[in-house]
Amino acid sequence: MKQSQLFTKTSKTISKGEVSLNAKLLLQAGFIDKEMAGAYSFLPLGLIVMEKITRIIQEEMNAIGGQKLSLTALQSPEVWQKTERWNDEVIDVWFKTKLKNGAELGLATTHEEPLTNLMKKFISSYKDLPAYVYQFQTKFRNETRAKSGILRTREFIMKDLYSFNRTQEELDAFYNKCTDAYRNIFKRTGIGDQTFFTFASGGSFCKFSHEFQTICEAGEDIIYIDRQKNIAINKEVYSDEVLKELEIDKNKLEKAKSIEVGNIFKLGTKYSKALHLSYLDQEGKSNSVVMGSYGTAPARIMGTIVELCNDDKGIIWPKEVAPFFIHLLNISNTDKASQLAKEYYEKLTSAGFDVLLDDRESVRPGEKFADSDLIGCPYRLVLSDKTISQEAIEVKRRDEDKIEIVKLKDLIKRMKQ
């Protein structure tokens, strides 16, 4: 993409009232815009990052047999009343609205009920199982507090996968597979090292659910980490009894604030029983389908990345989720430089690199450098009169101070290293 054509601009000032670091940096760099507290628009650069994260999640979900669908946000009360979750005290973040005829509707905060209901049309025999379905779909949650930037919003795209199995054993096996898929997601998005598989409350479904918690000061959770075992315990279930059960030595634990970037749940037969989703087994006996749910959200991951990967100059995107891999700055004013910049933009793009070319005229070099740091692409290439006279280009990684001078003829090779 050519920066001269990008309509967004970076901003030196931080909007008043914005307290979260991720929102500040993303607003400044022109990735997002704040519509209201807890509702952010994604501008071109931000949307590219969202789509890259989404693609990673999708690849991992497809790899474990997930089939993609898309359910509706609008919900009628009936199916939710059967599980008693229409009640505003049970789900306390409903946005409710009304049809013209006065009938009450809700905006889905999650989709266990409508999906379980839908699957009744397709599941009747053991031959129809297992089934793993997921979506990237907009959830609405009427949050009272919404001060964490894009980490917790009132409207966000969630990836929610639901598993439908014959037996608890089959669910357990898939749950482990999905756990690995989640680890891959966090590894690929660049937050794997700081993200821990965490024992958390299982609610009314089971003893524990599991969260993926990323160590971060901006987090709303507190976890106790056992680095040796590579697991953590959410404060909400932390007790001597649980420590004993998990064979964890209290003295080895490290306490930290963290962001919940994923949550996986063995739902068992709670929803299938309430909504009568059952199958006939090989003996012709009817059984309730055994379910699980697996959630994460691209924007939550994006916000977490920004909270973790930044310095006083701006964002430092991990490679696989960066809006562009290379930010190519032309800071010369000559026609020759401009021609050369375009040539290298074409060559790098053809070689498979995502490139943002800062071809803006009448923008000072200092401003281009500052913008580049703020936007945070992994590599910055600078074409100046000096480098051109050396038939070379300046190469700098966003996360390093070192500057290399690379001959133009060696550039593609260098970038592929």
Spatial separation of the C-alpha atoms in residues 338 and 322, rounded to whole Å: 25
CA 140 → CA 38, 43, 78, 232, 383, distances in Å? Answer: 10, 20, 19, 29, 46
Among 26, 29, 40, 356, binds its own copies (CB under 8 A): 40
- Residue 207 touches its own copies, criterion: CB under 8 A: no
CB of 318 to its own copies, least distance (A): 22
Closest to its own copies by CB, 75 or 332: 75
Q: Which two tokens stand for residue 137?
A: 């779909």
Among 14, 19, 41, 81, binds its own copies (CB under 8 A): 41
Length of the chain counted residue by residue: 417
The residue among 370, 240, 244, 33 whose CA lies nearest residue 358 is 370
Closest to its own copies by CB, 67 or 87: 67
Q: Is 402 left (phi over 0), alpha (psi -120 to 50) or beta?
A: beta
- Residue 128 touches its own copies, criterion: CB under 8 A: yes
Among 54, 55, 95, 278, binds its own copies (CB under 8 A): 95
Among 20, 42, 297, 321, binds its own copies (CB under 8 A): 42
Among 53-61, 115-123, 323-331, 343-351, which window interacts with its own copies (CB under 8 A)? 115-123
- Residue 44 touches its own copies, criterion: CB under 8 A: yes
Closest to its own copies by CB, 105 or 337: 105
Distance of CA 319 to the CA centre of its chain: 15
Spatial separation of the C-alpha atoms in residues 68 and 74, rounded to whole Å: 19
Strands across the sheet with 355-358, in order? 355-358, 326-330, 379-383, 392-397, 403-407
Spatial separation of the C-alpha atoms in residues 238 and 394, rounded to whole Å: 52
Among 138-146, 247-255, 321-329, 369-377, which window interacts with its own copies (CB under 8 A)? 138-146
Among 53-61, 127-135, 261-269, 300-308, which window interacts with its own copies (CB under 8 A)? 127-135
- Residue 142 touches its own copies, criterion: CB under 8 A: yes
Contact track, its own copies, 50-79, x by CB under 8 A: x--------------x-xxxxxxxxxx---
Spatial separation of the C-alpha atoms in residues 136 and 160, rounded to whole Å: 7
Spatial separation of the C-alpha atoms in residues 3 and 329, rounded to whole Å: 10
Per-residue buried b or exposed e for 355-367, using 16+ beta carbons within 10 Å of the residue's own CB: bbbbbbeeeeeee
- Residue 122 touches its own copies, criterion: CB under 8 A: yes
Among 96-104, 279-287, 311-319, 347-355, which window interacts with its own copies (CB under 8 A)? 96-104
Among 81, 87, 97, 390, binds its own copies (CB under 8 A): 97
Spatial separation of the C-alpha atoms in residues 86 and 104, rounded to whole Å: 11
- Residue 168 touches its own copies, criterion: CB under 8 A: no
> With the C-alpha atoms ordered 147, 149, 152, 153, is the resulting torsion angle positive or negative?
positive
> With the C-alpha atoms ordered 406, 410, 416, 417, is the resulting torsion angle positive or negative?
negative
- Residue 43 touches its own copies, criterion: CB under 8 A: yes
Among 12, 16, 17, 100, binds its own copies (CB under 8 A): 100
Please give the full DSSP string across 17-43, using - where no structure is assigned. T---HHHHHHHHTTSEEEEETTEEEEP
Closest to its own copies by CB, 75 or 234: 75
- Residue 99 touches its own copies, criterion: CB under 8 A: yes
- For its own copies, the binding residues (CB under 8 A) are 5-9, 11, 33, 35-36, 39-44, 46-47, 50, 65, 67-76, 95-100, 105, 107, 114, 118-119, 121-123, 128, 131, 133, 138, 140, 142, 144, 154-155
